[in-house]
Structure 1
């Protein structure tokens, strides 16, 4: 979570970094418009004063030229302001798209982490089941070995009993054969 918060703060700073130049351009354009508008008003005022006092026509023409330049500069500043507004909107749109992409990547990383944790849990459970199966198999093998030993002992005892019985019959047969003689 700590790294996630740092990442979010970093993203906020990145998006602010992208907005700052557009805001600076916007402020500069607004300042230019105000400056040229005030210059235009001042030139217009000077032109009115020149007409009022019937100044020579050269000064009137110069004042009119200055006024035209001021109007032209104000128009250029307005165009620049429009362009910077469009650039700001495009930058905002791009920042929103990048934010959406980053959120999708973060969600994918969270899903991958969850699936990795689930896989780890399943692997741990499978290992425990395998260990239990091995233990059960080892117990079964021990029981089978014990049963085989018991069977071998019983078989040996039966053979020994049969051998003893055969010997006793043989002895009885020999004894009865001797008696008959």
Structure 2
């Protein structure tokens, strides 16, 4: 059983690429929330057994996708019993614009993790904010709360930014380090 589980929704494949990069860094199991907002009973069991859960969703209209929200609402019985208490949590998101209100999505994840009495893990990555910075640099989007990715609205999932994928991978490594203690 993997110590880290990444549960995410991806509407067009961009966020899936980000989830895969993070999972690679964290040596994590991936759980894709389907187009109807569901996961299987076996996948719920994986989440219960994990030491860390990482949430992922594209940022749509300033927040998580409705599919992710349906998943989050389905965790209410888990919340009531505090079954996920003291797990590590993290989160990541993608939107078409550089800002795109991605922090609203990350704050939603943080709130969800806190309601589950979890421990939030930030990126631990300095932002690439010098004049010499390039778009493909690690953490160019500049988030400390979780991994952010920006993909133009007309780009395919094969055109996601390599620096943003590396950011997700390094964030995954940090989450794994926290789990290992």
Higher relative contact order (CA 8 A, sep 6+): 2
Q: Could you say which structure has the larger radius of gyration?
A: 1
Shorter-chain TM-score category?
A: under 0.3
TM-score for both structures, normalised by structure 1 = 0.17
Higher strand share: 2
Higher helix share: 1
